[in-house]
Amino acid sequence: MKKINFIFEAGEKFILHEMLIASNSRFSGHLPLDAFNSLVEMVHEDCSLFLNESESELLAAEITQRLLLLSLVPQNETWHPEGNVFRHTFLVRKNLNEIAKKHLLTPREFFILAMSAWFHDFGKLETLNFSDKGNPTAHGHEEESAKLVDQITEKFNLQSSEFITIRAMVDNHMRIHVLPEMSKKKRVKLQTKMENLKAWELLHHFQWMDANGKNASEEDQFFFEDVELVAKRIIHQHLRVNK
């Protein structure tokens, strides 16, 4: 029986949930756990590319718990017709598979892009706001996401060159979208920084992954609905218990 501990932060509340993932789970007869299990396994597999088993389990749980919360964070439909932040994040990560087919990525490069995909919009929870017209906004989310990368890597003592690069990818993932509009000085500064990390080409790969994180298949839609049902059940239960 596999046990995963989730600690959610909702405002000033910390919600603790211990979820049992097994065929005889008390949830198995009511919730579609196959999709949730596949998400956990996907994240864990990505973490395992460069981390040991203990580190992978801890980081995968941290990422998954944030993804469940991000399933409740809306986005502006004009820019994100795919829906909430979790859906976009999953599609960005899925696009890495296309990049890997077209380019000869090293395991290290694949790991950096995978972690960047999972982390890049983490900060949209803290920066969520609404415009006068009622549209969701997340100004400054890239900086907040980079801060969360710092907190997580410090929490699990993941101080490696890979995570330094991942942080830079997350922090600059919006800038690469507006590269043509940037001043020459700012372009050179960004390029120099990423080239020093051997990640300038990776940032361009990520720009494509992010820009195309909108196209969900019918299979993706079913997957999203199942994962989000699990997320709502977990969060609702513990908000009720801990209020």
Please, what are the domains in the chain? 32-242 (1.10.3210)
Given this model, what pLDDT does residue 159 score?
A: 81
Given this model, what pLDDT does residue 101 score?
A: 95
How far apart (Å, rounded) are the C-alpha atoms in residues 112 and 93?
11
Q: Say if residue 6's pLDDT is above 60.
A: no
Given this model, what pLDDT does residue 178 score?
A: 96
Q: Could you tell me the pTM of the whole model?
A: 0.88
Given this model, what pLDDT does residue 30 score?
A: 56
- The mean of the pLDDT values for the chain is 87
End-to-end CA distance of the chain: 30
Residue corresponding to tokens 């969060």: 235
pLDDT tens sequence across 54-90: 999 999 999 999 999 999 999 999 999 999 999 999 9
User: Across-strand partners of 7?
Assistant: 16
Q: For the chain, give the percent of residues with pLDDT over 70.
A: 85
pLDDT tens sequence across 95-112: 999 999 999 999 999 999
pLDDT tens sequence across 118-129: 999 999 999 999
How far apart (Å, rounded) are the C-alpha atoms in residues 138 and 241?
30
The answer to whether 20 touches 218, Cβ cutoff 8 Å, is no
How far apart (Å, rounded) are the C-alpha atoms in residues 33 and 13?
26
pLDDT tens sequence across 133-191: 999 999 999 999 999 999 999 999 998 899 999 999 999 999 999 999 999 999 999 99
Range with lowest mean pLDDT among 8-22, 134-148, 205-219: 8-22
Residue 22 confidence class, pLDDT cut points 50, 70, 90: very low
